[in-house]
Amino acid sequence: MIKSLNKDDFNYHRLIQHGNNSLKIFIFGFLSLIILPISVSQAITPIQNKQLVAYATDLPRAVIYDPAYRKINYPNGDVPAHYGVCSDVIIRSYRGIGIDLQKLLHEDIKANFALYPSKRIWGLSRPDTNIDHRRVPNLEVFFSRKGKVKPISKEASDYLPGDIVSWRLDNGRPHIGLVIDKKSSDNQRYLVMHNIGFGQVAEDVLFSWKITGHYSY
């Protein structure tokens, strides 16, 4: 025999249902607090991007190109200011706005070593805070994983101030630079801050070599 619900029974079931809904909302909110910070992009703000470009533009020009391995501090380590390679332009520019790519890349490569080319290219078996972040192929993996991958094209308008561009030079060596807000002499392309052996300079080199990476971070 099916028992009919009286008013008290009905109110009881409504209370249970309301409690279940509240519990679901609480669980969803709690999980959101846990998951959201992991999935949200770490992109810098427009103000930070302007500061990044300004800092890159003002980097000292007189820098001796020296790819020698050096032991440096961790975190916030750097080779002497009058030395550097192309990757140091990126590292120093971001450090100027309080972002330590040495530390961030190390944390990622430590947790995901097999995803980086350290063993394949350099024969390493573990991360190295002295050099990992100064190697262009590692930066390409890091920005692909943690930044925003942007289209590689022959349209100058696709490359904006604050963008990171990597190339393979005619001799096959990797190279990297940061797009700034100064234009080429024909006003068609933004200049790129880079160091290819003649100091940390801004030049019209966007399409000088084969582009292999285009990112924002």
Give the DSSP letter string of 122-147: H--SS--TTTGGG-HHHHHHHHHHHS
Co-location of 171 and 144 in the same domain:
yes
Structure-block tokens of residue 6: 């009286």
Q: Which helix (H) or strand (E) holds 104?
A: helix 101-111
Q: What is the mean pLDDT of each run of 10 residues along the chain (217 residues)?
A: 47 47 44 36 85 98 96 98 98 98 98 98 97 98 98 98 98 98 98 98 98 98
Which H helix or E strand runs over 179?
strand 174-183
Which residue range forms the structural domain that includes residue 100? Answer: 46-216
Considering the domain architecture, whether residues 6 and 110 belong to the same structural domain is answered as: no
What is the Cα–Cα distance from 143 to 52, expressed in whole angstroms? 16
* Number of independent structural domains in the chain: 2
- Tell me, yes or no, whether 72 and 149 share the same domain: yes
Question: CA 33 to CA 30: how far, in whole Å?
Answer: 5
Binning the chain into helix, strand and coil, the percentages to the nearest 5 are 40, 15, 40
Residue 175 token pair: 């190279």
Q: Are residues 93 and 5 in the same domain?
A: no
- What is residue 42's predicted lDDT score, i.e. its pLDDT? 60
Same domain, 150 and 104: yes
One domain, residues 53 and 99: yes
Q: What is the pLDDT of residue 43?
A: 73
Question: What tokens were used for 5?
Answer: 């619900």
User: How far apart are the C-alpha atoms of 148 and 135, rounded to whole Å?
Assistant: 19
Q: What is the pLDDT of residue 1?
A: 47
Nearest to 127 by CA among 113, 142, 144: 113
Find the CATH number of the domain harbouring 204.
3.90.1720
Specify whether 33 is located in the same domain as 69.
no
